[in-house]
Structure 1
Amino acid sequence: MIKKIGHSKISSFFLFIGLFLWLFTNGGIVNWAVGLLLIILFMMIEKISLRRKSIVESVVLLALMLFALLRFEIFLRMDVSSLQADAVIGNTAKYILCIGVWLALRSIIKHEKAILLKSLIRPLLIINVVFFYTQFIVKLVTNFYIDAAKYIVGEESRYQGILNNGNGIGSFRATGFYVEPSNYFFTVLILSILLLLIYEFKSCKKLIIITILSMFLTLSTAAFFIGALYVGYIFYIQKVSWKFYVVITIITLPILIFSFSNIGLLYERQIERTQGNSGNMRMALLEEVYDRDSDHILTNYGLFAIDRKLFNLTYNFGGVSREVASINDSGLFIAMWAKFGLLGVLYFMILCLLQRKRSIMNLIFFLIISLTKVHLFTPVFILYLVVSLGKENFIKNSSNYIQEDITFAPLQITQTLNSNRA
């Protein structure tokens, strides 16, 4: 039995690290590749075979990708910028990795070990939130910023603040493990939503509260507005009692008192960013997507490029300010519309229908996530799709495998050993 627990603990470690590496959207695809390798090792140790349905889905996705690649090479390459043409090989590798992620996760989610994948959402969220608060407090107290992204993805964090007030709140925007505050925001948003879909709210209430507070402490414009929608919907579906409001007030009051002089100014700056240049750039993006040439309306350029005009407007050339926002800045719906034309609108509606088929709560949560800067072709978004759409597997399999598989907690291992001795 001891050997079996050690065996399971190693595989759990591989799964956890693999999932953690899949949370990063910056820094290239090296982290994704290493994460996929670790997940494959987990599947080999646990003897999880590829499911036929998962293989069929992945083959279809691969065929669609190859069709898009051939279309680009034959018909579109000469019409796009050289930067997009040169990025084809890298993008192809990224899409193949994403298909591999889909295949692996879909196979795991249909296996009895799906409960182990479920159990790791909570520690993934905890490690993100704990590091964020550590980073935030250390910077606030010592003026030293722990830049994890610099070492994990090889890119320095963009933690510069909104206010020039020395080292107070507003002088920096903590990013957690990631490059930008918005990256941290949508990552913990996805993980916390998965937690709510998997567990009852009351079993993870404290973690959800401190996660939501950390979202607002990023001072990300998206966190102020999308986070408010998220909190409002949680209050609505949970019928939260007055005690919950009291707890949140007690937690946030010291921070408000500590930085009272900056709260009004921070709020004003956020409104200015939304209504000013940032908001104008997003509106300009929407206008460009809506008014594009007739030959780009239906499908645009697909997976490997966007039309030259839109690319020139959205790309930052040598530090020159962009004229419109990047295609991911205005949410997933606009990004898919910009990249795939009206076909992208259809794809988005299909994703919505799949979520609605599970529940109205799934759909609302998906729509909230779609408002962020999350990218369609990233492992963290694929993780969300697979887990949120595969919720029934957890309910079905959880009762038989919780005690055997969750081996991160030493207490649970001890309990298992004691029960077997008895």
Structure 2
Amino acid sequence: MIPLIAIGWVLHFTYSNHKIDSQSTKSFILLSGIIALIALPSLLKIYPHVHNLIKYTYYSFTVGMIVKLFSVYSTFVFLKGDTDKLERMIKYVLILNLSMFFIQFIIVFPTGIYIDPLKLITGESSRYGSDIFVPLIGNIYRCTGFYEEPSTYAGFIVVLLASKLYLNPKVDKLVILSALSIILSFSVAAIVYGLIIIGYFLLRSKASYLKYILFLLSPLLVAAIAAIAIQRLTSLGGDAQDIRSNLNDMVFSQQLPVLIFGNGALGIMSAAAHVMNTTGAIFRLGIASLNDNGMWLFFIIKFGFFGLATITAYLFFKSKSLLNRIMFLVIFLTKLSFLYFGFIFYLFLVFNNKAVLEEPENDAESEIE
């Protein structure tokens, strides 16, 4: 990544007369300052923030986040602040991810053969199995695209979709296919927020025979998808529910000041910190990961209800439209961490750019016809 960015900057200065997009530069400086500031209470151990992760230092947090932020900033600079080019770039990334997902989907269901690019690149297999069998269909596979798990695939597609719709609110075929792929990943959480997205698109689309047919069939479709989700949960023998319940119990059993303001950028719950500092085997506490129940809970762990309310209020104010607000709320339901590159890209986009709003007379312009 860093060598590619370095080459990009050399080419940019060579062919752009040394011009740098001023708006993106201001956004990068401001966000870098915010990143440095939010970790200070942990570094200084200002209660209730703590620094209880030995290997996770102030330096590693701030530098890691700012490097990711700089990568995003570089992309905006190279595109010279052109939002049309930025939207096209997001569109191409979506097409690449959707192509791999649907190739996997089309091949694995009739043949049982799964194309796994992750294994080819890293040697680690994707978790596409589900232990679900449906009559007439057979085994249910949970395609992952280029990612390790279907929930991770769904999370990144949601972020890309939210970014594209922030720049262009038109619901075109690519947007619809992206939303469908989220549901077809058959991650239980992804099914829920995928249906939320599709449901909104249907409500906003103009009247048509297809729309009425879909509404008539929707109870059957929802029932079928819900049956797959329930069977997925049942196939895990209650483990998934227990894991999520254990994390909720650990978070909400903390003292009130910690719940309000969080453990800080460099801290987590003390029991989890002890395990992370020794064996690193957090599953021994009966939890999968700190963001397993959604980004919203990870925000509470780090910055409490105050932090979650602050970021939600800011995104709500900046998003302007109901569509954008639904999308950022769906992002909070995904298992992505706010430390991931995808979310940092979305946050920089919202911070740096004004939302492109739907024109009232064209609100119903959708390709769901």
By the TM > 0.5 criterion, same fold? yes
Q: What one-letter code is carried by the residue in structure 2 that aligns with 1:226?
A: Y
Q: CA deviation at 1:38?
A: 6.0
For 1:175, the equivalent position in structure 2 comes to 144
In the alignment, the residues of structure 2 paired with residue 58 and residue 134 of structure 1 have an alpha-carbon distance, to the nearest angstrom, of 38
> Shift in Å at residue 336 of structure 1?
0.7
Contact in 1 for aligned 2:179/2:194 (Cα 8 Å) = yes
User: Deviations for 1:250-300, whole angstroms, at most 9, x for unmatched residues?
Assistant: 9xx9xx9xxxxx978634314547994433433443343333124534433
Q: Distance in 2 between matches of 1:324 and 1:133?
A: 31
Q: Does the 8 A contact of 2:125 with 2:148 survive in 1?
A: yes
Q: What TM-score, normalized by structure 1, do the two folds share?
A: 0.67
Is 1:61–2:23 an aligned residue pair? no
In structure 2, C-alpha distance between the alignment counterparts of 1:120 and 1:147, rounded to whole Å: 24
Q: Among residues 307, 322, 330, which one is paired with 2:293 in the alignment?
A: 330
1:174–1:181 Cα contact (<8 Å) kept: yes
User: Amino acid of the residue matched to residue 291 of structure 1?
Assistant: S
The size of the alignment, in residue pairs, is 348
Q: 1:299 to 1:133 in 2, by over 3 A?
A: same
Asked whether 1:302 is paired with 2:264, we answer yes
Q: How does 1:50-129 map to 2 (within 5 A)?
A: 50-67=20-37, 71-75=41-45, 84-88=53-57, 90-105=60-75, 107=77, 111=80, 113-129=82-98
Structural RMSD (CA) = 4.1
Deviations 1:216-261 (A, max 9, x none): 22111112111111111111222453324658999xx9xx9xxxxx
The 5 Å alignment of 1:304-383 reads 304-311=266-273, 318=281, 320-324=283-287, 326-356=289-319, 358-383=320-345
Cα deviation digits, residues 63-94 of structure 1 (max 9, x gap)? 44444555545548xx765xx32133654442
SS of corresponding position for 1:85: coil
- Counterpart CA distance in 1 for 2:112 and 2:255 is 50
Amino acid at match of 1:338: I
**In structure 2, what is the equivalent of residue 291 of structure 1?**
253
Matched, 1:139 2:93: no
The residue matched to 1:303 in structure 2 has which SS? coil
Residue number in structure 2 paired with 1:7: none
Distance, in Å, in 2 between the alignment partners of 1:151 and 1:216 is 25
Counterpart CA distance in 1 for 2:272 and 2:283 is 16
Asked if 1:238 is matched to 2:205, the reply is yes
For 1:219, the aligned partner's letter is: F
Pairs within 5 Å for 1:378-417: 378-388=340-350, 392=354
Distance verdict in 2 for CA 1:236–1:171, change over 3 Å: closer
Q: Which deviates more from structure 2 when the two are superposed, residues 47-56 or residues 140-149?
A: 47-56
Q: Deviations over 1:32-74 (max 9, x none)?
A: 5456446545644652744445444433433444445555455
In structure 2, distance between residues paired with 1:200 and 1:60: 27
The one of 177, 194, 207 aligned to 2:174: 207
* Structure 1 residue 182: Cα displacement: 0.8
Query: What code does the residue aligned with 1:172 have?
Result: Y
What percentage of residue pairs aligned between the two structures are identical? 24
Judge conservation of contact 2:187–2:229 (CA < 8 Å) in 1.
no
Query: Aligned in 2, Cα 1:44/1:169: closer, same or farther, shift over 3 Å?
Result: farther
Note the C-alpha offset of 1:325. Answer: 5.3
Match for 1:221 among 181, 188, 192? Answer: 188
Aligned-pair CA distance for 1:321: 4.7
Change (3 A) 1:139 1:271: closer
* Structure-1 separation of matches of 2:326 and 2:340: 21
Letter in 1 for 2:310: Y
Q: Per-residue deviation at 1:371?
A: 1.0
| Alignment partners' CA distance in 2, 1:394 and 1:232 | 21
What SS does structure 1 have at the residue aligned with 2:268?
A: coil
Structure with the higher fraction of residues in helix conformation: 1
1:183/1:343 CA distance change after superposition, 3 Å: same
* Unmatched 5+ stretches in structure 2: 358-369
Q: Deviations over 1:329-371 (max 9, x none)?
A: 2222221111112442243233333334x22321122112211
